[in-house]
Amino acid sequence: MYRILTEEKVKKNIEKFLEIDKDFSIIEGTYFVIENKKKFIGYGVLEKDNYNFILKKIFINENYRFKSYGTKLLNFMITSTIKKGNLIAYKDKNLNRFLEKFGFKLMDNFYILENLERSSEREKEGKKTVYYSIFWNIILAISKIFGGWYGRSRALLSDGFNSLSDVATSIGILLGIHFSNIPEDEEHPFGHEKIESIIGIVLGIIMILTSFELIQGSVEIIIAKDYNHTPNITTIFWAGFSSIVKFFMYRQKLRVGLKTNNTALIADAKDSRNDVFSSLGVILGILLSIFVAPIFDTLMSILVALLIFKEGVAVILETTDTILDKQDPELIKEIEKYISENSEVTNIHDIMMRQSGDNIFLSLHIRVPKNMTVYEAHTISEEIEESIITDFPEIKSVIIHVDYLIN
């Protein structure tokens, strides 16, 4: 739990400061406090100096050090107060290592954290990964379609068209990342991130339609008994190359998707993982066609199509949960526990969430004593809101309705 204290409140709570820091003395600046289970465990002091902010002090009780509380407190100080500019901290042998790990750069006799405007790292990483995906999917599509046609492998040809559909889905994700990073406006107060989920559903539909086309073509070949061609042994190379590339694409997409909580990118990562198995299946089908019977190549193309269909349905179901604002019971319990353990509020109810892309918008009700002033109730709700946003990075906004305790 975090609090911003006025000078009056600092003086009122001076004994709590002395409990954690025996050398505590009041200095000029804005005070920030971090609590654990309603107990002071650290504090920081900021002072504004024109365009810059000065970190005059940051202190964590020795019993709570090396547990990331200092990092959490400094993050709260930055996000709650510093919208733009630089943060400066003067050299201190007890803080130098901490400042360097946080990202401060050493100048002559001070450390500086420059340009604290929030950059869209999510957009940059997402676009970089999608460009990488488009490039490799084009390479794979061309190599597998050509290799399947030249090597007479229906399964490899199907896998090539699968990669071609991946190019289209990656372009769709690129559009989703672009539109979802447009700032909120009067008509879209919750932002534009939900477009990622819409793109995810479109991707799922494309995957299903692709699977139907592949199945239809293969079934027609089986009915016509036109499966007497044995694939060329070189087609195994193209399928093996595809499975290796797709594996690394899956790892990269999943890493960035989880890091940025991009549902469309995570869905695309699962499609790449599926492609690894489909390419390995193609190798098996080619081998069986060469050494057992030619029909196995066509049968394997149907299996590849069914895998594409299954993944398409899974993607649609997953992204639909986001659009329909499916509640996360574990997160709701965690929020309730967090508030009850770190504030004076004992009655928390009606916690609801809505999700838009990587952002969660939370609303909840709390009860406070009926004789509490409006100012005091507002201060408590504001502290809870800022603390939740700091300790739960996926939560972008918290709306708190204050009720009163009857007894």
Q: What is the mean pLDDT of the chain?
A: 85
Round to whole Å and give the CA distance between 306 and 207: 10
What's phi and psi for 231, nearest 5 deg?
A: -60, 150
Per-residue pLDDT at 129? 84
Reported confidence tier of residue 324, pLDDT bands at 50, 70, 90? confident
Q: Please give the residue that has the higher pLDDT: either 261 or 26.
A: 26
Please name the fold of domain 329-405: Alpha-Beta Plaits (3.30.70)
List Cα–Cα distances, 113 to 49, 85, 184, 190, in angstroms. 14, 9, 27, 30
Average pLDDT value for residue range 144-171 = 81
Reported confidence tier of residue 115, pLDDT bands at 50, 70, 90? low
Average pLDDT value for residue range 149-161 = 82
Domain 121-323: what homologous superfamily?
A: Cation efflux protein transmembrane domain (1.20.1510.10)
| Assigned token pair, 344 | 């004076």
Per-residue pLDDT at 119? 45
Residue-wise pLDDT tens digits, 344-390:
888 999 999 998 876 889 999 999 998 889 999 998 998 999 899 88
Reported confidence tier of residue 401, pLDDT bands at 50, 70, 90? very high
Per-residue pLDDT at 27? 92
CATH 3.40.630.30 fits domain 2-113: yes
Sign, Cα dihedral of 182, 184, 186, 190: positive
Per-residue pLDDT at 183? 64
| Assigned token pair, 316 | 């649609």
Residue-wise pLDDT tens digits, 200-238:
788 788 888 888 888 888 888 888 877 777 888 888 898
Q: Which sequence spans correspond to the domains of the chain?
A: 2-113, 121-323, 329-405
pLDDT surpassing 70 at residue 94: yes
Round to whole Å and give the CA distance between 118 and 234: 51
Per-residue pLDDT at 58? 94
Per-residue pLDDT at 17? 94
Beta bridge partners of 36: 39
For residue 347, the Cα-to-chain-centroid distance in whole angstroms is 31
Residue-wise pLDDT tens digits, 331-343:
999 999 999 988 8
Per-residue pLDDT at 364? 95
